[in-house]
């Protein structure tokens, strides 16, 4: 009986172990599939004509957006995620409501309470959000440190922040993955990964993962 009991326990342990292994594999496959869809959505954004406009615009919540032919760097990230079913406006707002003190207060534009029209459109807030809800990766200095679907933030100089999404296209000149971003000329895919000082490097799969 003792031997039989040990065999049953061993079988159960093996089943649990295999279950965890299978779940981990499934989760990883799901995450990779999500990143592929995000990259495709980001690359598709390069076909849109967008006039750079940082003006404050009151927008609906959730699912709100500034006019589609206007926007800034963050709006391209927001639109790419929304195309794959993730509403950063909603996700950022909910996290700020729960943990407002975790978000930067040194910025003169940060009010005393969350604002669903603008909070998700500010790079410093996205940096905090991706760090809290996603994966924070090293700010590596090698092109191999970056992969398609990851988010990168920069300091353009003088504390001016910027953000973009690493896509699956590689530069013919450097061999590096290029970045979908909007720095004033609309959404473009360019070899700008190391053009400015990198301040953040993240991976975010949405609330479900």
Residues 40, 36: Cα–Cα separation, whole Å: 6
Per-residue pLDDT reduced to its tens digit, 11-68: 434 443 444 344 556 899 999 999 999 999 999 999 999 999 999 999 999 999 999 9
CA 132, chain centre distance (Å): 11
pLDDT of residue 26: 87
Q: What is the largest CA-CA distance in the chain?
A: 76
Residues 63/89, Cβ–Cβ less than 8 Å: yes
Assigned token pair, 39: 């990259």
| pTM to 2 decimal places | 0.87
Task: Give the CA dihedral 158, 164, 168, 170, nearest 10 degrees.
Answer: -20
72/113: higher pLDDT: 72
Domain ranges of the chain: 30-203
CATH topology of domain 30-203: endopeptidase fold (from Nostoc punctiforme) (3.90.1720)
Query: In the predicted model, is pLDDT for residue 3 greater than 80?
Result: no
């Amino acid at each position: 009986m003792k031997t039989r009991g040990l065999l049953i326990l061993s079988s159960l342990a093996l089943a649990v172990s295999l279950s965890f292994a299978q779940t981990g594999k499934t989760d990883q496959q799901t995450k990779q599939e999500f990143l592929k869809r995000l990259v495709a959505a980001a690359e598709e954004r390069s076909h849109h004509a967008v006039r750079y406009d940082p003006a404050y615009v009151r927008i609906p919540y959730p699912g709100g957006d500034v006019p589609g032919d206007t926007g800034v760097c963050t709006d391209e990230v927001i639109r790419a995620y929304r195309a794959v079913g993730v509403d950063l406006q909603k996700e950022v707002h909910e996290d700020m409501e729960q943990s407002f003190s975790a978000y930067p207060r040194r910025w003169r534009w940060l009010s005393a309470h969350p604002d669903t029209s603008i909070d998700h459109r500010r790079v410093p807030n996205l940096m905090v959000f991706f760090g809290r809800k996603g994966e924070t990766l090293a700010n590596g200095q090698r092109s191999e440190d970056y992969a398609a679907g990851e988010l990168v933030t920069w300091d353009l100089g003088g504390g001016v922040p910027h953000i973009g999404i690493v896509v699956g296209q590689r530069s013919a000149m450097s061999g590096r993955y290029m970045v979908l971003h909007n720095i004033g000329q609309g959404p473009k895919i360019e070899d700008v990964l190391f053009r400015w000082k990198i301040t953040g490097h993240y991976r975010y799969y949405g609330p479900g993962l």
